[in-house]
Amino acid sequence: MDAILVVNAGSSSLKFQVFSVDGGRRLDCIIKGQIDGVRTKPRMRAQDASKRPLIDRNFAPDEVPDLPAAIQVAANWLRESQNVDLLAVGHRVVHGGPTYDSPVFITSDVVTRLERYVSLAPLHQPNNLSPIRMLLSRRPELPQVACFDTAFHRGHSPAVDHYALPEELYEEGVRRYGFHGLSYEYIAQRLLEIAPDVANGRIIVAHLGSGASMCALHGGRSVESTLGFTALDGLPMGTRPGQLDPGVVLYLIGEKGMSPSAVQDMLYRECGLKALSGLSNDVRDLLKSSDPKAAFALEYFVYRAVLFTGMLVAALGGLDAFVFTAGIGENSPEIRARIAARLAWLGIALDPERNARGVQLISAPASRVKVFVIPTDEELMIARHTLGLLETKRGAQIRERAIL
């Protein structure tokens, strides 16, 4: 069967989904899988569309020593046991820099450009590029498409994109990019289907997960985001601090004698909820804990989400709808309720019973602002972009043959 493989590579895991292509534009997810414990205790699991297990297998560490090996294992299994004929592979790439404002076919030149942004997304970019390089080397005939988390925000006005720094730095690419764009793009499209009355209005989407951000949408487009040059800005996250006075970095280097690499490692891995609680970077653990520091970490998270909501409302000039998405946003009624309670001044009121069940619309009938819980689907967004580029390329080839 013809299919598109979507790959999301992490530091020690590879998530993948397979979408069948029926000859038109219909995409159906037929397989979801992942390989965890790369390099240490590799384990591959996958299930079909009905959640029936297809594989659950452990590997020796030397069988899956790195991410390229992981994608090779997954590709071999799909070809040999699932009869999948890949049309293309779509990849999530976190940082597209100033060069890429839309998905692109991957070449070695594209990879070289994307390597420039490794320092701007050190937790993500190297892992995103690793399986891409392997496939370019071993399957050069297989089309690959890069879909960027920054692309959806590239229509921002200059006042939104700029820092108050010398202009030459902006021209070099030191600017506010915003991230989680694939998630926000999916939510914008989904709202057109489920809430057309507000879909083109003034909307805030809270993508709350281990990585967290918020985005202001108007007319289905991003107009402002809490994230900027890197994925360290804005909301506190699992292990990242969120908004930080740059003077803190200068202090750590100048007064504490930390090297830039040590500061980078601390900011990406040792801050956020993990640092505030001293216990865990996982909101589920913190909600279960009776430790006062866990309670403080959650209070801080909620406070900052409310604070940034005010900023985004100002950017929009009002608010018609608020959307919770991603791991915390979709699965934590308590965090949703705590954020909503502190936004009562906006006219937000939740229906407690609907919020507890996590249904699609959780606001009370009297709420002036509609509040939704919408599961995000970045992988479907990547599959759509990948199929779209394939169709564009096919159409161009047909037109070229007609001219010849």
Considering just the CA atoms, what is the radius of gyration of the chain in Å? 22
Query: Is the predicted pLDDT of residue 401 greater than 70, yes or no?
Result: no
Q: Can you give the pLDDT at residue 13?
A: 81
Three-point CA angle 80, 81, 85, nearest 5°: 60
* Three-class HEC string of 188-252: HHHHHHHCCCCCCCEEEEEECCCCCEEEEEECCEEEEECCCCCCCCCCCCCCCCCCCCHHHHHHH
Chain position carrying tokens 């709202």: 191
Q: Can you give the pLDDT at residue 317?
A: 97
Quick one: pLDDT band at residue 23, thresholds 50, 70, 90?
low
Quick one: pLDDT band at residue 397, thresholds 50, 70, 90?
low
Write the DSSP string, 71-109.
HHHHHHHHHHHS--EEEEEEEEES--TTT-SS-EE--HH
Q: Can you give the pLDDT at residue 308?
A: 98
CB 185 within 8 A of CB 203: no
List, for residues 176-194, the tens digit of each pLDDT value: 999 999 999 999 999 999 9
List, for residues 231-284, the tens digit of each pLDDT value: 999 999 999 999 999 999 999 999 999 999 999 999 999 999 999 999 999 999
Q: Residue 214's beta-bridge partner residues?
A: 206
**Greater pLDDT, 16 or 84:** 16
Q: Residue 168's beta-bridge partner residues?
A: none
Q: Can you give the pLDDT at residue 300?
A: 98
CB 302 within 8 A of CB 181: no
CA atoms of 136 and 129, how far apart (whole Å): 11
Please give the share of the chain, as a percent, with pLDDT higher than 70: 97
* Three-class HEC string of 41-67: CCEEEEEECCCCEEEEEECCHHHCCCH
Quick one: pLDDT band at residue 24, thresholds 50, 70, 90?
low
Q: Can you give the pLDDT at residue 349?
A: 97
| Strand duo 104-105 + 144-148: pairing | antiparallel
List, for residues 106-124, the tens digit of each pLDDT value: 999 999 999 999 988 888 8
Query: Is the predicted pLDDT of residue 403 greater than 80, yes or no?
Result: no
Query: Is the predicted pLDDT of residue 374 greater than 60, yes or no?
Result: yes
Known catalytic residues are 149
CB 4 within 8 A of CB 18: yes
